[in-house]
Structure 1
Amino acid sequence: MGSRTALVEDLMERFPHVPREAVFKEDLLRGGVAFDPSALSDNEDGEVKPKSYFIFSFDHGTLPELGEAALRRPPEEIILTGGPYDLRRTVVSVRVNPASPYRVAADEHGVLGLYLDGKRISDVGVPPMPEYYRHKLANGKSVMEVAPTIQWGYLIYLTAFRVCQYFGAKEECQYCDINHNWRQHKAAGRPYTGVKDVDEVLEALDIINTYDTAKTSTAYTLTGGAITSKVQGLDEADFYGRYAKAIEEHFPGRWIGKVVAQALPKDDVRRFKDYGVQIYHPNYEVWDEYLFKMYCPGKERYVGRDEWHRRILDSADVFGARNVIPNFVAGVEMAEPFGFKTVDEAIDSTTEGLRFFMSHGITPRFTTWCPEPTTPLGKANPQGAPLEYHIRLLQAYRQTMDDFGLASPPATARPDPATRCSPSAPSWTASRPRNPPGRSEPAEHSAGRGRPELRRSGLPCVSLPVRPLRGVAMPPHKVREALVICSKVVKSSATAARFPTTLMPRWPVDLVRDAGVSCPTCRALKVPLKRRCSPSAGTRRSPTPTCARPVPPPPPNSPARPSPRA
């Protein structure tokens, strides 16, 4: 396929039910956009809100490689409308790539537009400079440096700690440039405070609160690098929690408090809640077991994938399942050298993770991977993941929410009125209503606990509910194929083939009535008798039976498989 235009139009034709706005947005997020000098801002002295570098670079080049875009920053976000594709209003976060086939430039009348392969495809709007950005703190620091806002002013992004203690090739996540971003901004002489002072944060928030008369800013996010030891004598929960405590004491109820942190033990998570945090983002990064080990070596070493997931589930007991929103980096599943080779494999793996969390009432969200060039995966995969992967992920994400009767995560930015797309979410996946028409939210999910009987059992994952969730209509074939995965060591066949230490299940699921021997976990969960695990004929029994994945039922006219012997 010769041009990017041909690729995009081919995917629009193949996936007609995915809004074309979503296709363009995903392509811009994964591949970036170039800016003509006529489209750059005048930084904090102009009329356009400039891009703030709050934690990661989210660019496809280092500061020296960005050219004039490093001196006159591009806008924080852009709005796409109209054009030959008749795009509805769509907000896209800016990721700069001087080599991108997408380019923002002004025409002969000074009107900004987005060009693809030299052809204008939409009009472009930019965010106005907010009044609070024009005011300084008492020490001369800018509000944009201390408390920048993103998502068209909806979210205040407070990066309290701008480096990560997972340091070096053996610990850093292989797609993350937080530490390099710190180094490059300091080398360029830019103001880039490593640890933000609590009083400075409060002063910046006071300026925002004073001049944001429309109350556009609705939430704040506390975030930063992982803390494996201590910072200023504080562990991770107390370090980030002290900011929330101070904010809630000085501005009670003004903003929704959120924190992005590691998956911490439940006692630490309770401290977040006590400090005033309302939403917890313990990001799980990538679902596949082998890829987590290879691409998140520090997190695997200090915590471990299974424990990380267990802590995410435990945190729902503190915040409620709907207020636990783990993020993953969409696209690293296909990153060389260890990623999946086909889109089908990558989507299957990602969907398995979505089903795992959504079966517990937890709705993850995702950030489209930007292959920053200073990271190992960015260097090896400068083009990122195929656009088809991202389009199919939108389908899988929305379908999985439908399967479990879930709505979009709370406290996301207000969606665009035309597309119902949130600027913080990849695309129309965020347009799910709180209660979809004709469907009430399942009682288990509204109570914030997912399926409590599964949580109490300590099971690591659930493929599909054994019975339809209350209030959720499921087609008969979904119920027929629904089975639980009981063993901690059972993984997908794709993962097992790539991760030799994974133990494969020895107790296949019997689709006919068993002879009385079954997995004790199945009995505890009241799995229908004919769907319980039982030993196959000729298989040596294990003292602790485990459940395996479902075997497709035989065709209607095929002879029934004989029941195994007790």
Structure 2
Amino acid sequence: MSEKHAREADNFSNAAKYERDDVKFLIEKYPDVSPFVILKIDVQRRGVHYTESALSQFDPKVHQASNASRIFGIRDKNIHDSLIPSSLLLRDGTSICVDAVSPDSNSYLVEYFDGKLVLTDNGEIYEEVEYWEKPSFFDKKTSSGKPMYTIASARPQRLSLAPYGYCHFWDNGKGCLYCDVFTQAKLRKATDKEGYSIKLDPRDISETYHEALKEEGRFTTTSLTSGSNTHGFEPFDAEVDYYIDVLKAMGENFAIKKFPVQLTGTAYNERQLRRLYEETGLMGYTSDIEVLDPELFKWICPGKSEWIGFDNWKKRLYIAVDIFGRGNVNSGIVGGVELAQPNGFKSEDEALKHTLAGVEELAEHGVTVVNTVWIPRQGSYFEHLKIPSLDYYVRLAKGIYDITEKYDLTNDTDDFRRCGNHPNSDLLRLHK
């Protein structure tokens, strides 16, 4: 190839890459996808940096800061102890569960300009944003003296609890390769000034929940999520026992048995699933399969593969549908991790085709699928890998949404109002 042709090929490749990652180009390319969702995906991919002008508008007395109750880490360990906004809202109410990053990264900037908080990129304003408001219970303490903001966090319409901040798949080094729960647990233990607790007391949870419910109209559901616990007479019995204790403590705040709460847990066997449904107020169950390929599942999720296995994970999801009902069982995938190298799919088209086929198989059995945006987090095995293009994530979100529509599935606990971390479920606001 001549030098001229090589330059032309490079220019073509760079232009194609630019188009696959350019928000405005993709908004025009996909007119049937909300521009807010496309922007949200890119902000999640690249992260944000809060300028001094933006932080001047951040009031910890009013706005929610990143807090100690989270079990997952942050993208930049250098800002671990910084008092920064928890996340952002777009003008249409879209929530962005976003990571703050250092200013030298390829990030969006949040700036205060002309009396408004705005998202900017290369000096261009893309959208107005708002900080999440802090719920009142954050400033209170439980009877044991625990600050309630360390017990529960809050999304705009959802209360979130992470009662167990460790995953036992890491006991023999077989945690999921994209995950930083183990790193985060060590970091919190070493740095948290309030006193880190790997396992929350159900009493503290019940008291925090009681205070949160006093804010009428603020929360429409609750999400529980924690690391997996392999211990017990049968594997995961200890995890199920603990969740039952937590759910019963939460249920003391209701006059009826069932209340709006979703559990994101391990793939339990039928006996364990029936216990959760029959003994507690649990209404929705999620068990994240993470990646929809058996060989990649073994590589990326070695602990899940060792203890349960890919086919058995799906089987247990289908059993859960029989117990909780169609539309009340979800499974999440870490969107994009199927392209992680060296073992992932070699092309985005191949990855998309294979992943959507897996989503449809689950949907045929009544399981709703949601995707997150894979972020290589510091402290994870995948921290130095590259993520897929924005174009890929838009196609993935739209593809999962179309399958959800095709099978007339609902997603009441993980939708745009209650979660805000899944691009495909943000599109469900138009669900018939």
After TM superposition, the score normalised by the length of structure 2 is 0.87
User: Alpha carbons of 1:287 and 1:183: their partners in 2 closer, same or farther (altered >3 Å)?
Assistant: same
Matched, 1:163 2:166: yes
Partner of residue 226 from structure 2, selected from 220, 224, 235:
224
Matched, 1:251 2:249: no
Written as runs of structure 1 = structure 2, the 5 A alignment for 1:363-512 is: 363-379=368-384, 381=385, 383-404=386-407, 406-413=408-415, 415=417, 423-427=420-424, 428-433=426-431, 436=432
Written as runs of structure 1 = structure 2, the 5 A alignment for 1:195-344 is: 195-210=199-214, 212=215, 214-230=216-232, 235-253=238-256, 255-274=259-278, 275-344=280-349
User: Alpha carbons of 1:264 and 1:432: their partners in 2 closer, same or farther (altered >3 Å)?
Assistant: farther
Partner of residue 85 from structure 2, selected from 64, 75, 81:
75
**2:46 corresponds to which letter in structure 1?**
G
Work out whether residues 339 and 345 of structure 2, in 8 Å CA contact, stay in contact via their aligned partners in 1. yes
Cα displacement (A) at 1:234: 5.9
Instruction: Tell me the distance in 2 between the aligned counterparts of 1:110 and 1:40.
Output: 13
1:10 counterpart residue number: 25
Structure 2 gap segments, 5+ residues each:
1-13
Instruction: Tell me the distance in 2 between the aligned counterparts of 1:370 and 1:178.
Output: 14
Aligned residues: 409
Aligned-residue identity in percent: 25
Work out whether residues 4 and 117 of structure 1, in 8 Å CA contact, stay in contact via their aligned partners in 2. no
User: Alpha carbons of 1:42 and 1:49: their partners in 2 closer, same or farther (altered >3 Å)?
Assistant: farther
1:106 counterpart residue number: 112
Q: Considering Cα pairs closer than 8 Å and 6+ residues apart, tell me whether 1 or 2 has the greater RCO.
A: 2
**Residue aligned with 1:112, SS:** strand
After TM superposition, the score normalised by the length of structure 1 is 0.68
User: Alpha carbons of 1:363 and 1:41: their partners in 2 closer, same or farther (altered >3 Å)?
Assistant: farther
Work out whether residues 372 and 378 of structure 1, in 8 Å CA contact, stay in contact via their aligned partners in 2. yes
2:191 counterpart residue number: 188
Matched, 1:96 2:61: no
**Residue aligned with 2:90, SS:** strand
User: Alpha carbons of 1:44 and 1:303: their partners in 2 closer, same or farther (altered >3 Å)?
Assistant: farther
Matched, 1:20 2:56: no
User: Alpha carbons of 1:246 and 1:42: their partners in 2 closer, same or farther (altered >3 Å)?
Assistant: farther
Instruction: Tell me the distance in 2 between the aligned counterparts of 1:169 and 1:242.
Output: 27
Partner of residue 347 from structure 1, selected from 349, 352, 357:
352
Cα displacement (A) at 1:422: 6.5
Instruction: Tell me the distance in 2 between the aligned counterparts of 1:258 and 1:217.
Output: 13
Instruction: Tell me the distance in 2 between the aligned counterparts of 1:72 and 1:47.
Output: 17
Q: Greater helix share, 1 or 2?
A: 2
Work out whether residues 86 and 132 of structure 2, in 8 Å CA contact, stay in contact via their aligned partners in 1. yes
Larger C-alpha radius of gyration, 1 or 2? 1
Instruction: Tell me the distance in 1 between the aligned counterparts of 2:160 and 2:143.
Output: 20
Instruction: Tell me the distance in 2 between the aligned counterparts of 1:171 and 1:71.
Output: 28
**2:130 corresponds to which letter in structure 1?**
G
Work out whether residues 137 and 203 of structure 1, in 8 Å CA contact, stay in contact via their aligned partners in 2. yes
Cα displacement (A) at 1:230: 4.3
Structure 1 gap segments, 5+ residues each:
82-87, 416-420, 437-566
Cα displacement (A) at 1:199: 0.7
Instruction: Tell me the distance in 1 between the aligned counterparts of 2:119 and 2:60.
Output: 24
Matched, 1:136 2:138: no
2:152 counterpart residue number: 147
Work out whether residues 317 and 367 of structure 2, in 8 Å CA contact, stay in contact via their aligned partners in 1. no
